[in-house]
Amino acid sequence: AQKVTQAQTEISVVEKEDVTLDCVYETRDTTYYLFWYKQPPSGELVFLIRRNSFDEQNEISGRYSWNFQKSTSSFNFTITASQVVDSAVYFCALNKDGQNFVFGPGTRLSVLP
Amino acid sequence: DAGITQSPRHKVTETGTPVTLRCHQTENHRYMYWYRQDPGHGLRLIHYSYGVKDTDKGEVSDGYSVSRSKTEDFLLTLESATSSQTSVYFCAIRSGTSFNEQYFGPGTRLTVT
């Protein structure tokens, strides 16, 4: 069975602080895909990144970076120099075939001015 | 923008009444999904479709039915709404460079009183 854990229910930081959102997953598949989605207060779900299980390179996109470590089954998301607009619920998700997505419960990030 | 719309966006209904939610997409995607989002659970798959008239159950399908009579529309029906079906419902399509990403509609907030 597949499972995604986001142990941090809520995080609060002050603007310009760096913040890391944790994601730990469980799967028996050797090929799988990991995702992060952002849900701002307006409610829509925004796709941020997909990572394949056979590519452990970290990725950086502007202030966002992702650290994928198969040895610890983790796919953590770091926001550098956080901004108020980063306030949202962030979901980590896992699937093996594009079909059966398993989502974590989400982490609510509040960035205070 | 994955060209997905959902209607209605908000609905309040009474226990025992039937409710149908509509998902409409304009880009000829074959795969479509219905999820519900509840606090502490992330998103959970209700039903999905892999083509016209081809549907299958997800993790939380009890009390829900779906229909897909044409590619662009995927309908979710609550035959007799219950308070436990109060939730936010998201439709998604499958796409992406490796065809294993999902993109979501804006959501429908359903309240059953």
Answer whether B94 sits within 8 Å of A99, measured CB to CB: yes
Assess whether pLDDT exceeds 80 at residue B74.
Answer: yes
How much is the pLDDT for A54?
87
Assess whether pLDDT exceeds 70 at residue B86.
Answer: yes
Give every residue of chain A whose pLDDT is below 70, as ranges.
98
Residue pair A94/A33 in contact by the 8 Å Cβ criterion: yes
Element (H, E) at B84: none
Distance from CA of residue A3 to its chain's centroid?
14
Note the helical H segments in B4-109: none
Assess whether pLDDT exceeds 80 at residue B79.
Answer: yes
pLDDT tens digit sequence for A87-101: 999 999 998 876 778
Q: Angle at the Cα of A75 (from B2 to B29), degrees rounded to 5?
A: 20
Is A29's Cβ below 8 Å from some Cβ in B? no
- Going by pLDDT thresholds of 50, 70 and 90, the confidence category of residue B5 is very high
Q: Least CA distance to B32: which residue of chain A?
A: A99
pLDDT tens digit sequence for B17-51: 999 999 999 999 999 999 999 988 889 999 999 99
**Residue A59: phi, psi to the nearest 5?**
-130, 140
